[in-house]
Each structure stands twice: as structure tokens, then as C-alpha cells.
Amino acid sequence: MKILPRNSSIQKIFILLIPIVIFIAGCEILTFGNKPFEQKAWLANPVNSGKNDSIRFQMSEDLTKNHLKIGMTRQQTRKLLGKPDLLNSYCYGKDICDNYYLGEYALILKFDSAGKLIKKDIISI
């Protein structure tokens, strides 16, 4: 059996890879459902009790990609999604946010001072 010398490049690579593998293994991978957004179902299921498989969570990818557009007014987003579950008068600085619960996650809609949508995030709560 041949033993590699202590300063081998294989050992250095292995030592560098261990923290990367540990980091990746510890990361939570957010997987959305693949349901298309349906306003009626969204409005009928306002706050979920902490389940990732909530109807809102399952529709959130389609909602954020295809229905919520940067530049929409706050009134347009509320017409689409209904009254937010929580209002933040100052989130991410001086801007206003509407929060919609998705179970263990929340959809955060950030509006500028003119009431235009400037950011949409899904965060763990």
C-alpha cells in the first residue's frame, strides 16, 4: 500500500473540500410546489399554521415569476393578493413592505415611497 506524502496536492484539495461539503449539506434548499397561481385559492387560504405544503407556498413560484411584476402599484398587488397578513412601515430601510404568510415562509413585497413594487422575496420565518 502506497501512502501519499504529507504535502501532496490531493490532501490539500481534500482539506479544502471538507468545509464546502459541510456547508452545502447544512443549507436548506427551498423547493416550491408547481401549482399555477389561482387568485381564488390564494384568497381562500390566508394564514397557514406552519406547513410548507400550504396552498400559498405551492403557488408562490408561479406567482412571483409570472404575476407579480416590478413596478406594479401597491393597489394592484393588493387587488391580486388581498390584504397583507402583516404590514411593515419600515423594512429594508425607509421603504414599506407587505407580508403574506406561506407557512414557514413569507412573501415580502417591498414598495418605494411612490407605492411601486421594487422587490419581492420569499424568506424563512
Distance CA 17, CA 19 (A): 6
Cα Rg of the chain (Å, integer): 21
Distance CA 86, CA 7 (A): 57
Q: What is the mean pLDDT of the chain?
A: 79
Find how far residue 88's CA is from the centre of its chain.
17
pLDDT at residue 26 is higher than 80: no
What pLDDT is recorded for position 54?
81
User: pLDDT of 30-81, one tens digit each?
Assistant: 566 689 999 999 998 876 544 555 889 999 999 999 999 999 999 999 999 9
What pLDDT is recorded for position 77?
98
Give the chain's domains with CATH numbers.
Answer: 32-124 (3.30.1450.10)
What pLDDT is recorded for position 89?
61
What pLDDT is recorded for position 16?
56
pTM: 0.70
Q: Measure CA of the first residue to CA of the last residue in the chain; give whole Å.
A: 52
Contact 99, 111 (CB under 8 A): no
What length is written for the chain? 125
